[in-house]
Amino acid sequence: MAAPATPRASLILPRASSHSHSQPSAGRLTSDRVAASRRRRGDFVFVVNPSGANGRTGKQWKQLLPHLRTRLADQCKICECITSGPSDAIDVTREAIKDGADAVIAVGGDGTLHEVVNGFFCKGSPVCALDRGPDHSTALGLIPLGTGSDFARTFGWTNDPRDAIDRIARGLKSKLDIGVMEAANRETHFFVNVADIHLSAKAGYFASMYKRFGNLCYVFGALRGFWGHNNRDMRIKVNGGEWRTVDKVTALCIGNAKYFGGGMKITPTADPFSGSLEVVILQDFKWYDFLLKLHRLYGGTHLSVNGVSSIRVQSIEVAEVTASGDIFVQSDGEHFGFLPTKFSVLPGAVDFFC
């Protein structure tokens, strides 16, 4: 017997209002391509992960939707896209951009934002509208409703989603940098927050298994990550220069923004509008070093700690001195693979509501 088809993201078309000439529609279309054909230009597409934060995102979104319609009804046509599984947000975003949407708004945590950002690209290149001309661009927005929402912390934003809607309503945008990850036999990948290597990436991999515990998932992930952990010698190449060895690396973090792991200010001088990435390397840390210095890692005052170094780069390649193929790499809290990997920045790649 054939396996049942995996449900695709559904899209709810904009409701009619006194400012709309369309008739009300409450139907959910199971094919995002069909939905795209029915959308109109001027759409703001809200990509919602209903299962985020153990289902709280979906509940909060339903409560927020009437306020959003009231606040934005005069400015755009609201399209609600509900994702149903991994990578759904990538596909939905690509379709929305091709169809000429004016904005795609990620509603959820850092994982949802990560997928939406990757939907702005396909096979390493930006996705473009099919019939809006070369000058049209789709803006990126964020309503943080997830477990970590670390990217929002960089801007000092509150947890009130109504503040996020106000930012979108104001329409002020800046050119946001996007990080790029390249590895052999892997499709080019993109990140907006922090990419990291070795212990922190391994801890993040395990933390994803404990999301049901909220921010405690990061504690459980760290405990699992430390089990059997060994610091490793690595090679790095900065901005296309010469390879050099970095001994006893515990973790290497590449920040486009400042925070990861549920509020740890790991790359404290990173600026997603600067055109560069901050690389922070932790060397020869023991488990007790993290206990003793955890407050400094969360406070962003760790750059002066012994065994911590920081550099600003446009690109960095990272590889093992002795290849084992088991050094974890992640970005925005999502598992990417293993070393070797090259990281670089695309300055001002996306318009961002801020």
**77-82 and 334-338 beta bridge pairing:** unpaired
Q: What is d(CA 84, CA 102) in angstroms, rounded to the nearest whole number?
A: 23
Angle 281-226-305 from CA coordinates, rounded to 5°: 35
**DSSP structure string for 125-184:** EE---SSS-TT---EEEEEE-SS--HHHHTTT--S-HHHHHHHHHHT-EEEEEEEEEE-T
Q: What is d(CA 197, CA 283) in angstroms, rounded to the nearest whole number?
A: 12
- Return the residue matching tokens 């020869």: 284
Question: Exposed, middle or buried, 335 (CB in 10 Å: 0-12/13-18/19+)?
Answer: middle
Choice among 32, 102, 110, 332 that is catalytic: 110
> b/e per residue, 129-164, with b = 16+ CB within 10 A?
beebeeeebbbbbbbbbbbbbbbbbbeebeeebeeb
Q: What is d(CA 233, CA 291) in angstroms, rounded to the nearest whole number?
A: 23
Backbone angles phi, psi at 319, to 5 degrees: -145, 165
Q: What is d(CA 142, CA 261) in angstroms, rounded to the nearest whole number?
A: 19
Annotation says 88 is catalytic: no
Report the amino acid identity of residue 9. A
CB 248 within 8 A of CB 284: yes
Q: What is d(CA 199, CA 218) in angstroms, rounded to the nearest whole number?
A: 12
Positions marked active-site: 110
